[in-house]
């Protein structure tokens, strides 16, 4: 498991300014501190203690994250990333990766990571709304095809409750509706994503470490 090690004293409004969201989308304009690194660190420690993961690593950049994941050739069946996200994006210290990440500056590192993946491997983005809308579908399809494995992510904004969890494999189309998680009650644009609730579809909690079959 890899988590964003930089969110120690940030503010949601500052994250919004640096997020470079897809056109037509926005994050909530709320002036509150977040600082979720400590929660992600605690979650990684708990998961390893319970035997749900082999190790966890706090990365200060995508370069550090990918170097850590490419460090050896030991087979790996699941990679989780805990951090911030938006429709079609996952970011670390305000730097986004998107559907084209394998064709960019991290291509060689990602090729090394791909060689580690088992036949049934899954890469799970435990980030807000990365699978949301059309940008989220394109993110899932692009990364699944390039990494030749199943990609998992959420269509809702997540927290302790993490809804809209879906997976998509190479060459597959989404089994979820592109409108899932979008606040369709808003008459204006840009669009916003809904927060996870107990009644939301495909819901797990932060304590779940496995993806239910069929999702």
pLDDT tens over the chain, length 215 residues: 999 999 886 655 555 554 555 545 555 555 555 578 988 999 999 999 999 999 999 999 999 999 999 999 999 999 999 999 999 999 998 899 999 999 999 999 999 999 999 999 999 999 999 999 999 999 999 999 999 999 999 999 999 999 999 999 999 999 999 999 998 765 555 578 899 999 999 999 999 999 999 99
Which pair of structure tokens corresponds to residue 192?
A: 């916003």
67 within a domain of the structure (yes/no): yes
**Angle between the N-to-C axes of helices 133-147 and 107-116, in degrees from 0 to 180, rounded to the nearest 10:** 70
Prediction pTM value:
0.87
C-beta of residue 155 within 8 angstroms of C-beta of residue 177: no
211 within a domain of the structure (yes/no): no
Q: Determine the pLDDT at residue 200.
A: 96
Q: Determine the pLDDT at residue 164.
A: 98
210 within a domain of the structure (yes/no): no
213 within a domain of the structure (yes/no): no
56 within a domain of the structure (yes/no): yes
Which pair of structure tokens corresponds to residue 60?
A: 């200060």
Q: Determine the pLDDT at residue 121.
A: 97
Which residue range forms the structural domain that includes residue 132?
2-205
Instruction: Rounding to the nearest 10 degrees, give the CA dihedral for residues 194, 200, 206, 210.
Output: -130
**Angle between the N-to-C axes of helices 62-69 and 107-116, in degrees from 0 to 180, rounded to the nearest 10:** 30
181 within a domain of the structure (yes/no): yes
Number of domains in the chain: 1
83 within a domain of the structure (yes/no): yes
CA distances for 187 relative to 18, 29, 87, 124, 190, angstroms: 26, 17, 19, 32, 10
Pick from 154, 207, 206: nearest CA to 182: 154
The CA distance from 198 to 192, in Å, is 19
10 within a domain of the structure (yes/no): yes
Burial of 16 (0-12, 13-18, 19+ CB in 10 A): middle
Instruction: Rounding to the nearest 10 degrees, give the CA dihedral for residues 127, 135, 137, 112.
Output: -60
The CA distance from 153 to 132, in Å, is 9
User: In the block, which residue shows the tokens 């940030």?
Assistant: 10
CB atoms within 10 A of CB 125: 26
């Amino acid at each position: 498991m890899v988590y964003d090690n930089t969110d120690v004293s940030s503010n949601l409004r500052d994250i919004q300014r640096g997020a470079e969201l897809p056109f037509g989308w926005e994050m909530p304009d709320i002036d509150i501190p977040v600082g979720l690194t400590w929660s992600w660190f605690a979650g990684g420690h708990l998961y390893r203690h319970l035997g749900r993961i082999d190790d966890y690593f706090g990365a200060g950049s995508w370069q550090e994250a990918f170097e850590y994941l490419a460090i050896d050739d030991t087979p790996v069946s699941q990679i989780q990333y805990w951090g911030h996200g938006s429709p079609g994006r996952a970011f670390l210290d305000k730097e986004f990766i998107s559907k084209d990440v394998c064709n960019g500056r991290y291509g060689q590192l990602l090729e090394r990571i791909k060689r580690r993946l088992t036949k049934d491997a899954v890469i799970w983005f435990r980030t807000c709304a990365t699978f949301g809308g059309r940008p989220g579908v394109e993110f899932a399809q692009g990364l699944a095809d390039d990494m030749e494995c199943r990609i998992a992510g959420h269509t809702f904004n997540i927290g302790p409750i993490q809804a809209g969890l879906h997976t998509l494999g190479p060459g597959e189309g989404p089994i979820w509706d592109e409108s899932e998680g979008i606040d369709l009650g808003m008459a204006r644009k840009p669009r916003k994503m809904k927060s996870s609730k107990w009644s939301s579809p495909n819901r797990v909690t932060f304590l779940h470490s496995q993806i239910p079959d069929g999702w």
